[in-house]
Structure 1
Amino acid sequence: MIDRVVILNDIARPMGGATALALLSAHLFRARALPVTFISGDAGENAELAAAGVEVVALGQARLEAAGVASALVGGLFNRPAMAMVTRWIAANDTPGTVYHLHGWAQILSPSVFKALQPVAHRLVLSAHDFFLTCPNGSQSFLKSGRICPLTPMTPACIAANCDRRLYAHKLWRVARQAVQRRFYDRQNSPPVFAIHEAMRPFLMRAGIPSAAIHTVPNPVTAWTQERIAAEQNDEVLFVGRLEATKGPDLAAAACRAAGVTLRVIGDGGCASGLRRNIPRHC
C-alpha cells in the first residue's frame, strides 16, 4: 500500500516539459486520493497545487543562471541546504509506504538530492526527461553542432570533448558535477528509471544503467478530437515552444521553406531574432 507520493523537482511553477509532467503527476495522484508532497528548490508558489491539497515543501532558491556566479558554481555541484531540507523531511515523515519520484534536479537541488535520498533508494523512481542522469551536458550530443555523441559519458574521451554550448571550462564544471552525482547514484544498482522514449535506452545503458532498470513511459497526450484531422490539406505549419537551437525552430523553418509552406512561430528565446529575419511575417 502507498501511504504518500513525494515528488521532487527543481521548480514548482509550470515552466518546461519536465516540470509540467511533475506537476501533472501530482494532480493525477491527488485525483486517486493519494496524499502528495511536492518538494521543490524554488519558492514553491503554485496556487493549483495548494487547491488540490498537495503539501508543498520549498527551499526558496533560484535556478543556476539567476543565483549568481559564486552560488551557482558551488551550489550547483552540491547544494547543502537542499540536502538538509530533503533529509529533514524524510526523517520526520517517511513511512514504509512512502514512494519518492525525482524529476528535475540539475538547476537547484543539485547532486546533493541523491545523497539525501539514499536511505529510501529502494522506494525511489527517477525520471529521465533528458540525459543529466548520465551525461555531463545532459543531451548526449555536441550542442554547438547538434551531432549525436558516440562517446561513453565520463570516459577520458568524453571529458576531453568540447561539447558544451558555452566554453570548455563550463563543460569541465559539468564534468565535476557529474562526478559528484556518481558518488551518490549507483548506476549499476539504479532505482527504476522512467525514460520518455524507448530510443533513450541505449544511451542510458552506455553509461552503465542496466536495461532492466529502464522503463519507457511516453509523455501523456490528450487528443483534441477523436476524428482524424486532414493535416495534409493545411497550408500552414504552427511551431509553439521555446525558441532555442536545441528545440529546432531553425530546422522547422528550413523544412517549411523546402516544402513551400508557411511557418507560424509562437514563442521567444535566443533564436527569435534570427527567425524574424527569415520569416518576419509569422514570428
Structure 2
Amino acid sequence: MILERQRLRSGRVVLLSDYIGGEGPGSGGAGHAALDSYRALRAAGADVRAVAGFGGGGGIAADRFASLGGGDLRAGGAGDMLRAIWNPAAQVALAGELADADPDTTLIILHQWTRYLSPAALRVVGRFPAMIYMHDYFWPCPNGLYYDFQQAQPCTRRPMHAACLTANCDRQGRVQKLGRVARQAVRQIATHGDPGRRLFLHLSEHAQRTAAPLLQGERHAILYNPLPLGEAWSPPPHPRHDIGYFGRLESDKGIAPLIDAIVAGGHTGLFVGEGALQPRLAQTRGITHHPWKPRNAMAAAMRSCGVVVLPSLWNETWGLIVPEAMAAGVPVLVSQRAGSAELVRRFGGGQTFDPGRPGDLAAKLTGMLGTPPVPTRQHDALRAFLSPERHAARIMQLAESQFGLDLRDTARRVSARASPSPTASPESPPACPPPPPR
C-alpha cells in the first residue's frame, strides 16, 4: 500500500457544471447532486474547487468557486439554440479559468453541460482526465432521456444511426430534434479522443445497464449520489395527503398516469414542482399543487404524504425524491424504470411497479393505502449506504485506480505523513445489507 501511494501523483479536482445547487425548474436534481458531491469531497479532504456556467455556487466559499458568467440557453431563441450547439463564449471562459491547471494532474468531474457549456467547453475538458456524471443520457442520445416522447416509451434505437436520425422522438418536435442532432454530431467531434482519459459515472446499476451498451469502448463505474445528513429520524405525523409527488411535471415523469390512478382510486394528492402538466393538476379534484419549494422544506412536505411516488416512464438514472422520502420516514412507490427502485429492493420501505403493465400503478397505490404503509426499518443502513463519506471515498478510490491521482489536499497529506494513523480503505464502505435475490 505504501509503495502504491508513492506511485500516485498529487491531484486536484475541478467540479464543472452548467449550474450548481439552486432551486426551481432552472436547476433541478443535478444541481443539488453537484453541490452535495462538492461538499462531500471537501469534507473528505480533497483538493476541490467548482466552476459553474451560470448562477451562484450554493454557498461554496468564494476562493473555491467561479462562475463563467453565462445564462441558461434554453430560454432564448434561434441564437441561443445555435450557441447550445457551439458556445464559443463558454469555451473561452473555461479555457481561461483552467489556464493554470496541470492537464496531467487536474481531474475534471463534469455534471451538466447542455444548458450553457455546450460541446465547445467539452473540447477544453478533453485536455484533462475526466469523470463524466451521467445524470441523463445526453452523451449518447440527442434528446437526452433515451425516450420516445411521441410513442411514450423508452427508446430502443441506436443513437445517431439512421433510425434515430429520422425519428420524430423529441418532446418539442422535429425542429428541436434537428438542433439536438447537430449538437450531438458536434459533441462527437469535439470529444473524440482517448477513452482512457475519461470514466463515465452512473447513478445506479439500472442506469449503467441502460447506458453502457450505447457507449461501447468506454469505461464505466457506479457512483451513488450522496444523501446529506438531515434531521434525526422520527415517525411522520398523520398524513394530510394520500399521495405525494415532487419533481418536474412532464409527460416522461409519468404524471398523467399518476393523476389517472389518483382519480380512479378516489385518493388525494400533493404535487410540488413545475412543468407542462400543471394545468391538468388545476383541473383535477383532490389534488393540491405547489411550485418548487426550497430543499430544506421538502422533507416536511414529504412527511405530509402517506406515500411518495416516483412514476417515471423513462429509464430514469436515479430519482432523488426516493432516498429523500425514505430518509424522511415516508413509504415510497417507485417505477421499475427508475434507478432508485434499487433502494426499495435493498432496504424495503415501499414497493415498485411496472409502468408498462396497465393498472399496476393504480393497484399498488390502492394496496399500499389500504393498509398502513410501512417506511424502511433500515434507516441507519440507508444513511450509511448513501453517506457523503462513502460517496467521497468512492470518487477518491476511482481517481487512484483509474487515473493514478491522490486527491487529498496538500495540507492533509503533510499532516498524514507527520502523524500517521490507520484509516478505513475507500474500498471498504460502511456495511450495508446485501440486496435480496432477484
Shorter-chain TM band = 0.7 to 0.9
Find the counterpart in structure 2 of residue 48 from structure 1.
59
Partner SS state of residue 121, structure 2: helix
Partner SS state of residue 270, structure 1: coil
Deviation at 1:203, TM superposition (A): 3.3
Question: Which residues in structure 2 correspond to 1:36-75 (within 5 Å)?
Answer: 36-42=48-54, 44-46=55-57, 48-50=59-61, 55-70=64-79, 72-75=80-83
1:275 matches 2:286 = no
Shift in alpha-carbon separation, 1:187–1:234, aligned structure 2, 3 A? farther
Find the counterpart in structure 2 of residue 208 from structure 1.
215
CA distance in 1, matches of 2:231, 2:263: 28
CA distance in 2, matches of 1:272, 1:173: 27
Question: Are the aligned partners of 2:271 and 2:287 in contact in 1 as well (CA < 8 Å)?
Answer: no
Shift in alpha-carbon separation, 1:5–1:256, aligned structure 2, 3 A? same
* Partner of residue 36 from structure 2, selected from 24, 27, 31: 24
1:165 matches 2:171 = yes
Question: Are the aligned partners of 1:38 and 1:54 in contact in 2 as well (CA < 8 Å)?
Answer: no
Question: Which residues in structure 2 correspond to 1:132-151 (within 5 Å)?
Answer: 132-151=138-157
Aligned-residue identity in percent: 27
Alignment-mate amino acid for residue 258 of structure 2: A
Question: Are the aligned partners of 1:195 and 1:215 in contact in 2 as well (CA < 8 Å)?
Answer: yes
CA distance in 1, matches of 2:140, 2:60: 30
Find the counterpart in structure 2 of residue 238 from structure 1.
244
- Tell me, which stretches of 5 or more residues in structure 1 are unaligned? none
1:181 matches 2:187 = yes
Partner SS state of residue 48, structure 1: coil
**Residues 89-136 of structure 1: CA deviation (Å, up to 9, x unaligned):** 33313264322100000010001122111221xx21000000001000
Deviation at 1:206, TM superposition (A): 3.1
CA distance in 2, matches of 1:54, 1:251: 47
CA distance in 2, matches of 1:270, 1:32: 40
Residues paired across the two proteins, number: 275
Deviation at 1:11, TM superposition (A): 1.4
**Residues 212-236 of structure 1: CA deviation (Å, up to 9, x unaligned):** x1212233335766678799x9961
Question: Are the aligned partners of 1:164 and 1:170 in contact in 2 as well (CA < 8 Å)?
Answer: yes
Partner SS state of residue 7, structure 1: strand
Deviation at 1:37, TM superposition (A): 2.0
Question: Are the aligned partners of 2:15 and 2:48 in contact in 1 as well (CA < 8 Å)?
Answer: yes
**Residues 148-177 of structure 1: CA deviation (Å, up to 9, x unaligned):** 111000001100000011120210111010
CA distance in 1, matches of 2:279, 2:237: 32
- Tell me, which stretches of 5 or more residues in structure 2 are unaligned? 1-8, 290-438
CA distance in 2, matches of 1:78, 1:235: 46
Shift in alpha-carbon separation, 1:251–1:8, aligned structure 2, 3 A? same
Question: Are the aligned partners of 2:119 and 2:186 in contact in 1 as well (CA < 8 Å)?
Answer: yes
Question: Are the aligned partners of 1:188 and 1:210 in contact in 2 as well (CA < 8 Å)?
Answer: no
Deviation at 1:23, TM superposition (A): 1.1
* Partner of residue 196 from structure 1, selected from 196, 199, 203: 203
Partner SS state of residue 25, structure 1: helix
Shift in alpha-carbon separation, 1:18–1:226, aligned structure 2, 3 A? same
Question: Are the aligned partners of 2:111 and 2:134 in contact in 1 as well (CA < 8 Å)?
Answer: yes
